[in-house]
Amino acid sequence: MAGYLLESLFMPAKAPTTFVSALALDTAAGPAAATPKATGGPMGEAGSKEALARLTSAMSELKAIAVKPLLDRAVQALNAERNQEGGEWALKALDKDETNGFGWYLLAISRERAGDFGSAITAYETALRLLPDHAEVANDLGRLAYRLGMKSHAEKLFRHFLVRYPGHHEGANNLACVLRDDQRYDEAVELLRPAILARPDVAMLWNTMGTVMAELGDYPNAEIFFREAVRLEPTFPKALYNLSSARLSQGDPDEALVLCDEALAHVLAEDERQMMHLSRSTILLTLGRIGEGWDAYEARLHPSYADTTHFLVDVERYPAGAGLEGKSLLAIAEQGLGDEILFGNVLPNALEAVGPEGRLTLAVEPRLVSLFQRSFPQATVGAHATYLKTGRTYRTLPFVTNFKDYDYWTPFGSLLREFRRSIGAFPDRAGFLTPDPVRVAHWRRELDTAPAGVKVGLLWKSNIRTGARRRFFSPFADWAPVLRARGVTLINLQYGDCSEEIAQAERDYGVSIWTPPGIDLKQDLDDVAALCCAVDLVVGFSNATMNLAAGCGAPTWLISVPGAWTRLGTARYPWYPQVRTFTTPAFGNWTPVMEAVGEAVEAFAAER
């Protein structure tokens, strides 16, 4: 297998290869925090035994005799995983000589291991300034910067390391991760090729190449690389996890669950463990094991999970199973805008649970406040605020003046484990949000001025354009069968800059996409909800506007992909019973599903 892979991987650059194909895919197939994503971060760890051995060797030339014993004690403590003690010895060394770069480096390792990333960054930067020729510092600082989302800084540091150690497999892998995340896929592939050729025994290199393929949506090729990484290192958690995600994305949740459980049996780092638990929750949901899935979904809130949101709320967290009747509940929306709407599906149940003697307060994205207040007049609705600090996300509630007014707080998603433990618990009503009837009437009058035909609103992309999301959306050219459907007037519901696609429709297909006047499709969400209810049909991929339309009960058709956990093991979309779902047979194979949608749109128009 390895020989075949190397032959195919290192074919001449002029030959076409599937793993550098330009698949322009991406999406919000589901909530961002729960969408499984390939993991292939930088190699190395804070103060590995190999790194500490190199450090000890370098320190042998120290002239400051009084400092060296203290540094030696710090190294010994760190080798024994006594991280606080190691930091204390490093600080003692720095008390004697604050310009000692080795002391700062050891302190950085100690602080990183303790999770104090802000202090670790400062200590690494100081060490690098004092030890400019010690490239390992740059590599470690780059790895931490990458972990904190400081990708441009990480790239510079990894390149610094490669200047000192050209061709080093660890440096190549780490830089390739940055290039991949920056969607510079060809550069990542060209960096990994020679690294794998030089060190075909390093499982991480195969794993990282697989993550590049996964980002491109090429899961069959990604699987080949992940399986080779597992063959080389059978207990490699990241490769097992990535292979699990590849199987799920190819419609095999049963094997995905087995592989994810195997990865969890070997993983050590708590942040990776929680990421895998979260992925496992989506596999359970895909298998239709709804109650188990929501229980496992709580991993998204674990403080060690790298992408968790920290809610700054001084209220007791709602304990699962506790009674809510007569209680004052503060429910906070989470994750992306579309996810806030999707999870809002459960709010009617929460209102019923607190009863007439209780009180429900909702914190939502500012653009959703008016829509949610109209939809839930019995509740108090305010806007949350979100900010980033040292790579972590924090959510606050500026409108809340006294947290003592509440008995419990809960994220929206945690209510699902209470009220949505089976498919039968999902609503049979079409919509739970109430658009403004005056604005619906306004948009119906405006649509009468558009060209004649059944009014079909289109949604074809997400404004979040990371590789991981883009693979859930087809290239615009694949919409041709829908654009050519007879008897329809196409209405632009897509937020963001759409000028290129609208011009392409006119140029290549002779089709005009009518843009509603006087509305900001990204900001005026209450008005967008009314517009969606005024058209005859909304068609598109899962993004915020699709959830708005479906949440308001508008006739909606969703284009889905294999392994989309939000279908909950069904062929439909249980969140919104009126939604008709079209699923592509495989990632990147858009032709069959788009032809089916085009035929269905034309039939829909003919019926009217």
Backbone Cα Rg of the chain: 27
- pLDDT at res. 41: 67
pLDDT digits (tens, 9 = 90+) for 458-483: 999 865 554 554 566 778 889 999 99
Contact assessment for residue 223 and residue 216, using Cβ atoms and an 8 Å cutoff:
no
What tokens does 417 get? Answer: 């484990």
Contact assessment for residue 493 and residue 548, using Cβ atoms and an 8 Å cutoff:
no
Q: Minimum mean pLDDT among 9-13, 266-270, 277-281, 434-438: which range?
A: 9-13
* Mean pLDDT computed over every residue of the chain: 87
- pLDDT at res. 461: 82
- pLDDT at res. 468: 52
Query: Where is pLDDT greater, at 354 or 93?
Result: 354
Contact assessment for residue 19 and residue 220, using Cβ atoms and an 8 Å cutoff:
no
Phi and psi dihedrals of 559, rounded to 5? -95, 115
Q: Which residue has the tokens 């740059």?
A: 138
Q: Minimum mean pLDDT among 24-28, 96-100, 292-296: which range?
A: 24-28
Q: For residues 486 and 348, what is the distance between their CA atoms, to the nearest angstrom?
A: 40
Q: Minimum mean pLDDT among 93-102, 211-220, 491-500, 537-546: which range?
A: 93-102
pLDDT digits (tens, 9 = 90+) for 10-63: 433 333 222 222 222 122 333 444 555 666 666 655 556 666 666 666 665 565
Instruction: Let me know the angle formed at the C-alpha of 591 by 589 and 592, rounded to the nearest 5 degrees.
Output: 95
H/E element, 442: helix 437-448
- pLDDT at res. 71: 85
**Range 73-92 average pLDDT:** 88
In the sheet that holds 385-389, the strands lie side by side as 309-311, 392-396, 385-389
Q: For residues 288 and 282, what is the distance between their CA atoms, to the nearest angstrom?
A: 10
- pLDDT at res. 144: 74
Query: Of the candidates 312, 366, 317, which has an alpha carbon nearest to the alpha carbon of residue 340?
Result: 366
- pLDDT at res. 5: 40
Q: Which residue has the tokens 């203290």?
A: 70
pLDDT digits (tens, 9 = 90+) for 426-458: 999 889 999 999 999 999 999 999 999 999 999
Q: Cα–Cα distances in Å, from 498 out to 28, 74, 124, 501?
A: 18, 58, 44, 5
Q: For residues 71 and 105, what is the distance between their CA atoms, to the nearest angstrom?
A: 10
Q: For residues 463 and 344, what is the distance between their CA atoms, to the nearest angstrom?
A: 22
Q: For residues 146 and 164, what is the distance between their CA atoms, to the nearest angstrom?
A: 20
Query: Of the candidates 432, 408, 409, which has an alpha carbon nearest to the alpha carbon of residue 420?
Result: 432
Q: Minimum mean pLDDT among 106-115, 127-136, 269-278, 513-522: which range?
A: 127-136
Whether pLDDT at 326 is above 80: yes
Query: What's the sign of the alpha-carbon dihedral 255, 258, 262, 268?
Result: positive
pTM: 0.81
Instruction: Give alpha helix (H) positions in 148-184.
Output: 151-164, 169-181
- pLDDT range class, residue 547, cuts 50, 70, 90: very high
Whether pLDDT at 389 is above 90: no
Residues in the chain: 608
- pLDDT at res. 234: 97
Largest CA distance in the chain: 90
What tokens does 259 get? Answer: 């592989």
**Range 508-519 average pLDDT:** 94
Query: Of the candidates 120, 132, 130, 113, which has an alpha carbon nearest to the alpha carbon of residue 48?
Result: 113
